[in-house]
A and B are shown apart, each in its own frame.
Chain A
Amino acid sequence: MKFAIAVFSPAHAPSSRRALRYAEAVLAGGHEIARLFFYQDGVHSASANVVTPQDELDVAGQWRAFIAANQLDAVVCIAAALRRGVLDEAEASRYQRPAVNLPKPWELSGLGQLHEAAQVADRLVCFGGD
């Protein structure tokens, strides 16, 4: 079965970790992840600049590794990202901002990608709110 998973919270939020554990369980269960979509404060889960203390879980790092290892489609909503200062090279250049903090494997795109994923997936599951 195909899952679209949307994350609305930053890496330090319990729901972001929960979303990651859920996404892992989806793949472990033999299912597919059509897309991961990061919206609202979820764009911070994609930030390359997150620094976690050594004795804490690096959820942002784990998301990156999970996406790369499984070659998943990971989209960050561009409008939500800009508003929150999460920029890739193109946007940082466009708006002349000093820092690029959205690396590959993340892609910036629009809400249309969330809708497309919801249309192709058997289930749309959202995490966030904290």
Chain B
Amino acid sequence: MTTLHVIAHSPFGDERLASCLRLLGADDALLLCGDAVYALRNGSEPHRLLQAAGLAQRLFALDEDVQARAVGNDLAKAVDYAAFVELSLHYDKVNSWL
């Protein structure tokens, strides 16, 4: 079964993103929201980590959080809440890294 992983914490000084990327299944997806969108900042270490992970169409970011933080986003597909709900159904389960 596939999993939509959701991370809301800043990747700086926090283990969630690194741990999640290690456990991510080949058909799983990752949604960044809250401060986790800072991982999309170009030139940052987490951005390099995400690029290396090669998630392609399986990386998403909650658009309101990207906008609020003025983070340039060249990696993730920006989604709104309606799309977040649809993603929750597209993948077999949702795992939020609280």
User: Do A and B come into direct contact in the complex, CB within 8 Å?
Assistant: yes
Residues of A within 8 A of B (CB): 1, 3, 8, 14-15, 18, 21-22, 24-26, 28-29, 31, 122-130
If A24-B81, A25-B81, A26-B85 touch, whether A124 touches B9 (CB-CB below 8 Å) is no
Majority-rule SS of A interface residues: mixed
User: What distance in Å separates the Cβ of A56 from its nearest Cβ neighbour in chain B?
Assistant: 15
- Which residues of A have CB within 8 Å of B73? none
- Please pick, from B33, B80, B86, B89, the residue contacting A18 in the complex, using a CB distance under 8 A: B33
Decide: B98 and A128 in contact? CB cutoff 8 A: yes
Q: Tally of A-B residue pairs with Cβ under 8 A?
A: 53
Give the distance in Å from the alpha carbon of A128 to the alpha carbon of B96 in the complex.
8
Give the distance in Å from the alpha carbon of A14 to the alpha carbon of B96 in the complex.
14
If A126-B96, A128-B96 touch, whether A22 touches B86 (CB-CB below 8 Å) is no
Closest to A8 in B: B98
